Amino acid sequence: MTVRPKTRRLAIGAVTGAILLAAAAAFLWNTAPHLAPWTLDPTDPRVSLEDVEREVVRRYRVPEMTPATLAAGLPGGSVTLFDVRTVEEFETGHLPGAIRIEPGSTAEEILSLHRDRIAAGPVVFYCAVGVRSSDLMMRTLTQIAPHARAGLYNLRGGVFRWSTEGRALVSRAAPGRAHPFDENWGRLLARTAPAP
């Protein structure tokens, strides 16, 4: 049996195409920051906030600031805080003086609105546990960093860590509380929260 040249060329083309597609998919998977599948289940009682913090650090290579360090710097007012959460999360409770920005904000949007603040002192991004703020930093760091002479940081453990260490959150109506993000993450927050 002989293979016709046209059929052979088609088979070689199909195999080559499949190899190129697989290589492109592998390249994108290995170079793009991704959380899916998230390897930690916040409903699992064995998973701690410390586990989540380590996972965020492993996935995102951004400079961090601990809540204790941030709290020591807040009274002076020179730190700019960007809350990278939804309106509902922000209104439930946010760090004193924080400015809410959309999780999908671009570097251009952030700089057009906040360039002077970014140049004035250290900038700290935060969200519930550090995923959205780290993601935003990864996407915008190279454009924003030249304007932030005092540094850009992600708040380690986010609002969850801040509140579980007994630090105040504010809202319009009353003292704030940490928004649970969703029911699953709310379980982790409830396990982590200090006893009243």
Give the model's pLDDT for residue 196: 61
The yes-or-no verdict on residue 35 having pLDDT over 60 is no
Q: Are 163 and 93 in contact (CB under 8 A)?
A: yes
The yes-or-no verdict on residue 133 having pLDDT over 60 is yes
**How do the domains of the chain map onto residue ranges?**
1-32, 49-192
Give the model's pLDDT for residue 21: 57
Q: What is the mean pLDDT of the chain?
A: 85
Rounded Cα distance between 68 and 165, Å, is 9
- Confidence band, pLDDT 50/70/90 cuts, at residue 149: confident
The yes-or-no verdict on residue 135 having pLDDT over 80 is yes
CATH number corresponding to 49-192: 3.40.250.10
**Range ranked top by mean pLDDT from 11-25, 34-48, 170-184:** 170-184
The yes-or-no verdict on residue 33 having pLDDT over 90 is no
* SS3 category, 156: coil
Rounded Cα distance between 95 and 169, Å, is 5
Give the model's pLDDT for residue 172: 82
- pLDDT tens string 57-98: 999 999 999 999 999 876 556 899 999 999 999 999 999 999
Structure tokens at 117: 């603040």
* Long-range residue pairs from 171-177, CB within 8 A, at least 24 positions apart, any chain: 171/91, 171/92, 171/93, 171/94, 172/91, 175/93, 176/92, 176/93, 176/94, 177/92, 177/93
If one compares 187 and 33, the residue with the highest pLDDT of the two is: 187
Q: 137 — alpha (psi -120 to 50), left (phi > 0) or beta? A: alpha
